[in-house]
Amino acid sequence: IKRYAPPTENPTQAYIQYVAHEAGFTTWSHLNVRNEQVMFALIKAMAKFEQGKHFHDSDEVILAGVRMALNGH
C-alpha cells in the first residue's frame, strides 16, 4: 500500500490498518497475492477505503476483476 498510497498523498498508516482489518489480516501478514481469496479481500477493502460511503462494487464485479488480473487478462 505504501507504494501506491504514499504518505505524501494519503493517510498511509490508517489506510494499511483499515485494509488489514477489513480483509482479516494483520498489518504484518505475509500475503500470497496470487491467491484469489487474498486478492478479493484486499481489493474489496481497498475499494471501501477509497470510495467510503459511496462504496457500491458488488462482490461479483470485484471477483471478476481479480480473476482477470490473476489470469493475465
> What is the distance between the alpha carbons of residues 17 and 72, in angstroms, rounded to a whole number?
29
- Residue 49 has a pLDDT of 93
Q: Which residues contact 34 (CB under 8 A, 6 or more apart)?
A: 70
Per-residue pLDDT at 6 exceeds 90: no
- Residue 68 has a pLDDT of 97
Eight-state DSSP code of residue 5: S
Question: Using CA atoms in the order 45, 46, 47, 53, what is the torsion angle rounded to 10 degrees?
Answer: 70
Average pLDDT over all residues of the chain: 93
Averaged pLDDT, 44-59: 90
Eight-state DSSP code of residue 55: -
The answer to whether the predicted template modeling score (pTM) of the entire model surpasses 0.85 is yes
- Residue 59 has a pLDDT of 95
- Residue 10 has a pLDDT of 85
> What is the distance between the alpha carbons of residues 10 and 24, in angstroms, rounded to a whole number?
22
Averaged pLDDT, 21-35: 96
